[in-house]
A and B are shown apart, each in its own frame.
Chain A
Amino acid sequence: MSKTITIDGKVIPFEDGQTIMDAAMAAGVYIPHLCHQPEFTPHGSCKLCTVKVNGRNCSACTYPAMDGQEVLNETQELIDDRKRITQMLFVEGNHLCPGCEKTGNCQLQAVAYHLNMLDNHFPAFYPEREVDASHPEVMIDHNRCIFCTLCVRASHEKDGKDVFAISGRGIHKHLIVNAESGLLKDTDMAATDHAAHICPTGAILIKRTGYQVPIGERIYDHKEIDQVSLAASGSRLVAALPPSMAVGTENIKNGE
């Protein structure tokens, strides 16, 4: 008999080496997350995937599944607290959804909707952050960066480059690029890089593809992020692509 854990009472099998997140996704159980994509080394920083394992809070994306674990995922307490953590991400940066090209395709926004986030709750920081539009094809809007490091990992692990890194400490953390000038145009970034398409928010965008899919017809306009996330992880074919690219060929054509 294979090893199992339970998530909210549901028995879920796992294989050695799998994390709680791996096991949950394979079994069709959605655990909210932003810094995690199955194809990259788990990071465990956004803390949205926090679950209670035998009474203790653990990040599902990094914590190994072990036989007999009792995992709580959808308790009211966890849902409420995940909403607060999402609100922290919103107030820390400048996330103005109505004016953002990523709206409707944005995982941060979609997670917020999923968690029924209706306001910021916390006072906004309104940090002064810059836009790097120097690159001919790719732009960075630092206002929307949530330091998930997916672009860092994608560039390093998939593209074999090191275009991105996170620098600074504490609330002064910021995304930097690998160029003496500090500008994206002087890096070896290409629009075809995985790193250009992995951002869960609108911090990294491909130029001249904006609004090709009208608002109202975007990924999360009709589907909740749990469905999209599980559908993406359910198929090997699409699992190799980030969810934003994995839903329908239309989006790939449009460079979304």
Chain B
Amino acid sequence: MRQFIQGIAENSHYQATHLLQILRRIQSRYHYIPEAAIEQLSGLLNIPRTQIIGVAEFYSFFHLVPRGQYELLISDSITDHMLGKKSLLDYLAKKLDVAVGEVREDGVVSLDNTSCTGMCDQGPAGLVNGLALTRLDQSGIDKIAELINQQKPLGEWPEELFQVDDNIYKSGLLLNQQIEQGAALRSAFKRGIKETLKEIDYSGLRGRGGAGFKTAIKWQFCSEEQQTERYVVCNADEGEPGTFKDRVLLNAYADQVFEGMTVCAAIIGAKQGFLYLRGEYLHLYDKLQSILAQRRQNSLLGNNILDTGLDFDIEICLGAGAYICGEESALIESLEGKAGIPRNRPPYPVTQGYLGKPTVVNNVETFLAAAGIAVNGSDWFANIGTEKSKGTKILSISGDCVRPGIYEYPFGTIIQTVLNDCGADDVLGVQVGGPSGTFISNQEFDRKLAFEDLATGGSFIIFNSSRNILDMVHNFAHFFAHESCGFCTPCRVGTSLLQKQIDKIVEGHGSAGDVVALEKLCQLVKNYSHCGLGQTAANPILTTLERYPDLYQSRLKEISFEPGFDLDGALETARRMANRDDAGAHLAQTDASGSRPVASLPPSMAVGE
């Protein structure tokens, strides 16, 4: 092991900024981060061991205790649940003889849940040692169980288990046009770099991550900074449950994305770029590396690009399972080899980003659009869309529809059009923009996709009338509590309190006042959290509470008193110690009249009898 770690540290030039990538390799080889590796790395990278432990314990894909040689993770997105994930997971656990969250005794396999893996159009999905598994069903699971029990290397597993389809059903401005490699750069240099920035400005392009900051302004701010060392970062950490468009863009349009980054580098004067690729998209890594290599060969990356004097290269950094790293300053922290904790702002990344230097962070789709604008000019883009939202938006559509996949629409398109195209009937509502977005009911399908109405990063999850909205809310509440970075009090504690309160209501333990308490807590988390995660974590509750108040009220018990915790659950330790599990050792939450807890204990022990 010493030699292995020495080798990867050396390959990383002993830079602590590479810690995440180093830990990824150690986890992949040993299926955990051994104590000895931490000690050795601490010396090699010259950082305290606490920093390494802090990173290892922050990201979901790192473990300080051994996982199985086959690390199986099953996606816990609401869309996977809608496709029968729960029973599949139970089946898998039984088949492999391992409990969810555990490692099998022989150490061969471990099984757990993981946040949405970005395969919502082809779920239920999962990961095995980081590689995407799609369209899981019973026969697929039988196969997987057999392969694992035979300890077959992943390379020998049938390819269809790992098959990822693009599922592009509707192309528009961006997806229709495959730009020739190098065309955007040639156009940009021919037109002039300053003029190209002007074109991007005139095009009205706004960030495609959802927040919608004007791209040209961001690039201009960065280019005007005093510091001359600047960076371009492409945010491909699309962790919002229900979104998968970046996966498709990087599979089918990667050249254009890299080209957009290079145009940006020319404009802001950056020499180094990063593609921060979410760990769940490991399956794209080799392909993307070979595209980068090809671009270097064709003088589209590296020194003196196309003989223009521009020096720029792109490095791919993989994430390790943390939704928060989609937040740009958390992403930068992660790029620096640290836990993904959002920074205090100001300063903003355009002034102090990666290593404290001016940095542009943009979404995959933004760079794709910028490359298109560099080739075709601003009018091509600005002639489509609405006044404040120019161009098109690429949607990741999943849930209850006939054709889940990728759809590109001009901004201003109404929701009903989208539903018609993807074959969605009997729709109850749509979660637009993922859990952090907005739930709209079937009374609102004339609303528009646009920054001025429904702003979205692209996640579009459809629910038909057979679905229970509270199941969705419950899933999202658990998601945010799991993904909160824990930096600030309102989000760290608040998302866990929201989870508890939703559990209480959904499980039927809520009583009068609990919905009011829930709403107040939502406001607190929303108004006081440090970053977008906490500020939007209550959205699923707030937007559904606004539309379906009766649904929440209907779950409440009509009683004056309800214990704030699970009485029977609290007796578990006592039962274990007393070695009993008879009826008398259990406690109902309330008596029939609902007035107080009731014990089925012997009279001598029953409280207050």
Write the residues of chain A forming the contact surface with B, with a CB cutoff of 8 angstroms.
Answer: 42, 44-48, 50, 57, 59, 62, 64, 81, 84-85, 88-89, 91-92, 122-123, 125, 146-147, 162, 164-173, 176-178, 180
Contact = CB atoms under 8 A, between A and B. Distances in A.
B487 interface: yes
Contacts of B99: none
B51 to A, nearest CB: 6
Contacts of A84: 524
A170 B524 contact: no
Contact of A57 (B492, B497, B528): B528
Contact of A47 (B339, B481, B490, B521): B490
A162 B49 CA distance: 9
Nearest to B35: A180
30 contacts: A45-B487, A45-B530, A46-B489, A47-B489, A47-B528, A47-B529, A47-B530, A81-B527, A85-B528, A88-B489, A88-B494, A89-B493, A91-B493, A92-B489, A92-B496, A122-B497, A122-B521, A123-B497, A123-B565, A162-B50, A167-B58, A170-B485, A170-B492, A171-B481, A171-B492, A172-B57, A172-B486, A178-B49, A180-B35, A180-B39
Considering the complex of A and B, which 4 residue pairs feature the smallest CB-CB distances, nearest first?
Answer: A165-B50, A88-B493, A173-B486, A170-B484
Interface string B31-50: 00001000100000000111
B483 interface: yes
Contacts of B54: 165-167, 176
A220 to B, nearest CB: 21
The residue among B48, B494, B528 with the most chain A CB atoms within 10 A of its own CB is B528
B510 to A, nearest CB: 12
Contacts of A147: 486, 492
Given A81-B524, A168-B57, A169-B484, A89 B489 contact: yes
**Most B CB atoms within 10 A — which of A45, A47, A169?**
A169
Contact of B530 (A44, A122, A166): A44
A121 to B, nearest CB: 9
Contact of A177 (B50, B322, B564): B50
Contacts of A46: 488-489
B344 interface: yes
Contacts of A146: 489
Contacts of B485: 169-170
Interface in B464-491: 481-490
Given A169-B485, A176-B50, A178-B49, 15 more contacts: A45-B530, A47-B528, A59-B530, A81-B528, A123-B500, A123-B565, A147-B492, A165-B54, A168-B486, A169-B339, A170-B481, A170-B485, A170-B496, A171-B493, A172-B486
B400 to A, nearest CB: 31
B492 A167 contact: no
Interface of B: 35, 39, 48-51, 53-54, 57-59, 322, 339, 344, 346, 481-490, 492-497, 500, 521, 524, 527-530, 564-565
A34 to B, nearest CB: 9
A42 B524 contact: no
B39 A170 contact: no
Contacts of A44: 344, 488, 530
Nearest to B482: A170
A123 B58 CA distance: 26
Nearest to B322: A169
A168 B485 CA distance: 8
A169 B39 contact: no
A168 B521 CA distance: 24
B459 to A, nearest CB: 22
A202 B50 CA distance: 22
Contacts of A91: 493, 497
Q: Which of B54, B487, B490, B493 has the most CB of A within 10 A?
A: B493
A164 B57 contact: no
Q: Which of B50, B485, B524, B527 has the most CB of A within 10 A?
A: B50
Contacts of B53: 165, 167, 176
A50 B534 CA distance: 15
Contacts of B565: 123
Most chain A CB within 10 A, of B51, B481, B496, is at B496
Which of B53, B489, B521, B528 has the most chain A CB within a 10 Å cutoff? B489
A123 to B, nearest CB: 5
A171 B484 contact: yes
B532 to A, nearest CB: 14
A62 B344 contact: yes
B200 to A, nearest CB: 29
A35 B67 CA distance: 36
B538 to A, nearest CB: 14
Contacts of A167: 50, 53-54, 57-58
Contacts of B51: 162, 165
A172 B527 CA distance: 23
A45 B485 CA distance: 11
A48 B528 CA distance: 9
A12 B339 CA distance: 37
A59 B521 CA distance: 19
Contact of A88 (B39, B59, B490, B530): B490
A35 to B, nearest CB: 9
A103 B524 CA distance: 28
A88 B497 contact: yes
Contacts of A176: 50, 53-54
A177 B497 CA distance: 28
A8 B49 CA distance: 46
Contacts of B35: 180
Nearest to B60: A169
A168 B524 CA distance: 24
A164 B488 contact: no
A186 to B, nearest CB: 11
